[in-house]
Chain A
Amino acid sequence: MSSTTVGTARYDAIVIGAGHNGLIAAAYLARAGKKVLVLERREIVGGAAVTEEIFPGYKFTEFSYVVSLLRPEIIRDLELPRHGLKILPLPSTVTPLANGDYLAGWDDHDQTRREIYRHSPRDAEAADEYSRVMARAAKAIKPVIGLVPPDPSSLSLRDLRGLLRLGAYARSLSDKELYRIAKLVTQSSADLLNEWFEFDPLKGTKSASGIIGTFLGPHSPGTAYVLLHHYMGEIDGAFRAWGFAKNGTGGVTAAIASSARALGVEIRTNAAVKQVIVRNGRAAGVALENGDEFEARVVMSAADPKRTFLGFVEAKHFPDEFTQAIRAFRVRGSSGKVNIALSELPDFTCLPGPGPLHRGAISISPSMEYIERAYDEAKYGQFSKRPYIDMVIPSMIDRDMAPPGQHVMSCFVQYAPYDIEGGWDDAKRDAFGETVISTIEQYAPNIRRAIVGMQVITPKDIERIAGITGGNIFHGELLLHQLFFLRPAPQWADFRTPLPGYYFGASGAHPGGGVMGAAGKLAAHEVLKDWK
């Protein structure tokens, strides 16, 4: 892309980062008639939601790989289906077990019940009740996600109104629901799941979604909330379950970018931002690494909180307290990704031959203890010797992802600490990849000979390629003290920042990560509210 020396072209708004949140914010601003420029460091748009042909013919959803939480109103508002968005079903989760058996969760209630019943009749019924209880709790907490978090210490009219609304909402919940939610946000997923279930692989598989993207184990308090967070996507009739976007998550950001362009948004790639230009105490534009400068009335960062507040803006523009809070914000990357091009499907001993399991997720999570042990190693600076792995075979869902007869497999792997002892290097990356293959090999012995090519991504690589400081997939862990009115910092959870004209709308802001887009959309709305 060409770089223009500007200084004259003035924009209403500049958005830093063309990930899904940045693109969504830009599209909403353009939809309101603003002249918007999006600046992307990389040569492609998408951020951590990209699809790249790492080996010719094999398309990898490099980082984020599933969609559930993408807000339906964003899809409607931005007419994403017209721009190519299709979210295909990802109907099941199969957990292969060491004894050659398996545990499956199908997308059919009866069949799932029957499958769990095979292992534990009691758990089969408990699972029904559990999912109803979690869905009701998710429903109870969901309206909060759509709210701009009010600051409980503020007396501004806007915050008071927000608090009142929140209070009225809390009062509308029954005591039972309130207690349940209070428990859910404080409990560990191990305590929660032990209350409900007896079958270890079921607990292991369920607990896995409570640790994704955190640097915690199933026994760490606060992980139960993350379980709930993952239920959010499942309560909308239209969105029910996890899905896989056509062309991977890169297909999602491509659709959003297309919609944004149609709305008049200008997107520049190879445009790494060096600094936010501050004039008269206000954000007034940005300067690129290459020396180009662009002026705008407002600037929004859709990068991670560390770069947004510690990188792009000189510390002197922020109160110390704020800078301290951002420094303390925990962004410890804990997961890696192994993307594999395959000449044949992995053949699982528990369910030999091609079958419905290949169309869904395959989870290496035989017990909570297994995951807790995996965490123990990470706590002390090692990647897990036997990690939790969430595998998806995108080419089984969307045949365009790999050449005919060939496949691609995406493996989300936890734990892989960002701060590995001695630091990440090529040898450690290779060893990490080998650990993943040898783990899968225990359940699917043909995996090694089927490998055509393999891309191993450590948290360090996530930071290097996608530009997320710390390599945390949520730009900051979903910990209770980093959520809602505390995300990313106390008093600054409303997408504004201490620097007038500078806004923040990314996964590190409320309501948090996932290919959800709520932060980008809500931030754009706040920008527009302040416009007059």
Chain B
Amino acid sequence: MSLLELKRTPFHERISRLSLPQNFRRWAGYITVGSYDLGLDREYWAIRNAAALIDVTPLMKYLIEGPDAARLLHRITTRDVLKMAVGQVYYTGWCDDEGKMLDDGTVSRLAEQRFRMTSAEPSLRWLAMNAVGMDVKVTEVTDQVAALSLQGPKARAILNRCCGKSLDSLKYFRLMENTLAGHAVTISRTGYTGDLGFEIWMDNADALAIWDALFVAGDDYGLAPCGILAMDMARVEAGLFMIEVDYNPANHAWIDGQKSTPYELGLDWAVSLDKEGYFVGRRALEREQREGPAWKLMGLEIAWEGMERIYAEVGLPPQIPAMAMRGSLPVTAGGQQVGYASTSSWSPVLKKYIALVHLQRPHYEPGTPLSMEITVEHHRRQAPGTVVKLPFYDPEWKKATPVADKPRKAKK
């Protein structure tokens, strides 16, 4: 291996060969697959209609163990970790003392005194700084624990075929110890697609055997390997934001305007102000909760008729990029800028042009008519749209337990 080669996940031997366009992306120091197929359709529709297997090993992973493990996570995150049950998984953000978001991820209670935390940014230092005086041990396991995300309506059926224990009773945001093709795994009912989905956590040594077993079990269900580009489209539909794209971690920001609070990102539900004791950012968040956020992350649905009209002016049908776009686009009300879109995407399942938008008060009320700037034949145009609540797409099988294997209809 040459000196400056990127890290490879334990699945590299498989994924690097399967990618037809040899489309690779960097993710947290690892090399991962952007897409496996020549277009994104097959991978995207595997998420929405069958099952897709995504290598998510690059997620930063930490084991937090000891008598004060719960107390440390309770102090750092915005959720009430003291009330968390063993086997439960929390999605949470965490903030600096000004209540500005540093990162977001999941916290899993593996045992009474044992947690796993995932994050997008390295968090060892932040955990250590906050653990002063606590009886807790923090170990980074990013490079030791491999992770696969199995997403899509057939995900449970596939797992039931190759796991030691049935997944039928595993609830949304819960986890279980299991075996897969005889190897010990932890399976959590989590994901980044807004569909039925599971994340499988395993020792690096078992990674290839588990990958292969999943494809044996999943073949009849249309299981496809899926890269992070198709997942990006699905996560926009699911209203899930991405660090460094839809918000900046506060400690990376050059100016205050680049920082966000959990309330501004719509994480009200994940800030437990009623929880016991101090947690980082508490005072600032209490103030923000009282006063209401100045900004809010919402959805914007662009009206198709408007797109048709704007494009018709130059004699074209609407053109929309076939993947999630990360360029910032101004959002206006009556010609005045009131916010911006941080990610926009065509939604193949909804047949809508959608965007995650950051809007200033009072423009963030659902139903507000706003416009998003688009470029049509090199000229700026305002595409009319409507503010909507997130997520854009929320199928009932995402949370239902148990569910029939055959997908019923989506809520919206």
- Taking Cβ atoms with an 8 Å cutoff, the residues of A that contact B are 106, 108, 110-111, 113-114, 121-122, 124-126, 128-129, 132, 136, 139, 351, 355-356
Contact = CB atoms under 8 A, between A and B. Distances in A.
Contacts of A126: 125
Interface stretch (B2-10, B205-213, B259-267, B339-347): B2-10
A250 B196 CA distance: 65
Interface string B44-65: 0000000000000000000000
A114 B125 contact: no
A349 to B, nearest CB: 15
Give 7 nearest A-B pairs by CB, closest first.
A110-B29, A125-B125, A125-B122, A121-B124, A114-B29, A125-B124, A111-B4
Contact of A356 (B3, B125, B251): B3
Given A355-B3, A356-B3, A356-B4, A122 B28 contact: no
Contacts of A356: 3-4
B251 A132 contact: yes
A423 B410 CA distance: 87
B355 to A, nearest CB: 27
A114 B254 contact: no
Given A356-B3, A356-B4, A110 B28 contact: yes
Nearest to A176: B98
Given A132-B251, A355-B3, A110 B26 contact: yes
A106 B140 contact: no
Interface string B239-276: 00000000000011010000000000000000000000
B111 interface: no
B350 interface: no
Contacts of A139: 254
Interface in B101-139: 122-126, 128
- Which label, helix, strand, loop or mixed, suits the secondary structure of the A interface? helix
A128 B122 contact: yes
Which of B26, B125, B251 has most chain A Cβ within 10 Å? B125
Given A108-B4, A129-B251, A139-B254, A113 B128 contact: no
Contacts of A355: 3
A125 B124 CA distance: 7
A126 B126 CA distance: 10
Q: Looking at chain B, what size class is its interface with the partner chain?
A: 10 to 19
A122 B254 CA distance: 23
Contact of B125 (A110, A129, A136, A351): A129
A113 B310 CA distance: 47
A121 B29 CA distance: 14
Nearest to B140: A121
B125 A122 contact: yes
Contacts of A124: 122
Contacts of B3: 351, 355-356
Contacts of A122: 124-125, 128
Contacts of A351: 3
A192 B28 CA distance: 28
Nearest to B126: A125
Interface string B5-30: 01100000000000000000010110
Contact of A113 (B29, B123, B252): B29
A110 B32 CA distance: 14
A132 B4 contact: no
A367 to B, nearest CB: 22
B4 A106 contact: yes
A113 B6 CA distance: 12
Given A114-B7, A125-B124, A129-B251, 14 more contacts: A108-B4, A110-B26, A113-B29, A121-B140, A122-B124, A122-B128, A125-B126, A128-B122, A136-B254, A139-B254, A351-B3, A355-B3, A356-B3, A356-B4
A38 to B, nearest CB: 40
A190 B354 CA distance: 52
B147 to A, nearest CB: 18
Contacts of A128: 122
A139 to B, nearest CB: 7
A92 B140 CA distance: 27
A126 B251 CA distance: 12
B26 to A, nearest CB: 7
B244 to A, nearest CB: 12
Contacts of B4: 106, 108, 111, 356
Contacts of A132: 251-252
B122 A113 contact: yes
A181 to B, nearest CB: 16
16 contacts: A110-B6, A110-B28, A111-B6, A111-B29, A114-B7, A122-B124, A122-B125, A122-B128, A124-B122, A125-B122, A125-B123, A125-B125, A132-B252, A139-B254, A355-B3, A356-B3
Nearest to B5: A111
A400 to B, nearest CB: 26
A136 B255 CA distance: 9
Nearest to B252: A132
Interface in B209-255: 251-252, 254
B37 to A, nearest CB: 27
Which of B4, B124, B140 has most chain A Cβ within 10 Å? B4
Contacts of B29: 110-111, 113-114
B356 to A, nearest CB: 25
B239 to A, nearest CB: 29
B232 to A, nearest CB: 20
Contacts of B140: 121
A113 B140 CA distance: 14
Contacts of B254: 136, 139
A196 to B, nearest CB: 10
Nearest to A121: B124
Contacts of A110: 6, 26, 28-29
Nearest to A235: B254
B19 to A, nearest CB: 20
Nearest to A355: B3
Contacts of B122: 113, 124-125, 128
A139 B254 CA distance: 9
Contacts of B125: 122, 125-126, 129
